[in-house]
Amino acid sequence: MGKSAMLSDIGRFIKERFPLPVALPLTLILFAGPASVSPPGLGGAIFGWVNTFLALLCLRMADDLTSLPTDKISHPERGLPAGRLEARNLRNFLALAVSAMVLWQVNIPAMLAAIGTVIFYVLFFRDFKEKLPLLTRPFFSNIIFAVIPCYAGIMGGNLTPAHLWLAVFIWLAAVAHELAHNVHGPLETDLGLADYVESIGARSTAALALVLFALAGFFAFLAWLSLARPWVFGLLLVLTAAHLGFLGAKLIREPEYENARPFYVAGFTFFLVPLAGLLIDRLLVLGLG
List, as one string, the DSSP characters of 179-195: HHTT---TT-TTS----
pLDDT at position 288 = 63
Quote the CA–CA distance of 224 and 76 in Å, as a whole number.
Answer: 44
Enumerate residues 6+ apart whose C-beta is below 8 A from 70: none
Quote the CA–CA distance of 246 and 137 in Å, as a whole number.
Answer: 27
Residues of the chain with pLDDT under 70: 1-2, 188-192, 194, 288-289
pTM of the model: 0.94
Domain extent listing, the chain: 1-131, 160-289
Which of 65, 30, 34 minimizes the C-alpha distance to 50? 30
With beta carbons less than 8 A apart as the criterion, state whether 251 and 197 touch.
no
pLDDT at position 174 = 98
What secondary structure does DSSP assign to 210-243, as a single string? HHHHHHHHHHHHHHHHHTT--HHHHHHHHHHHHH
pLDDT at position 43 = 92
Enumerate residues 6+ apart whose C-beta is below 8 A from 55: 101, 117, 144, 148
Quote the CA–CA distance of 196 and 188 in Å, as a whole number.
Answer: 13
SS3 33: helix
pLDDT at position 190 = 65
Quote the CA–CA distance of 231 and 252 in Å, as a whole number.
Answer: 31
SS3 100: helix
pLDDT at position 270 = 98
Q: Where are the alpha helices (DSSP H) in the chain?
A: 2-17, 20-35, 41-66, 68-74, 79-82, 87-103, 111-123, 137-141, 144-155, 161-180, 197-200, 202-226, 231-253, 257-260, 263-288
pLDDT at position 76 = 87
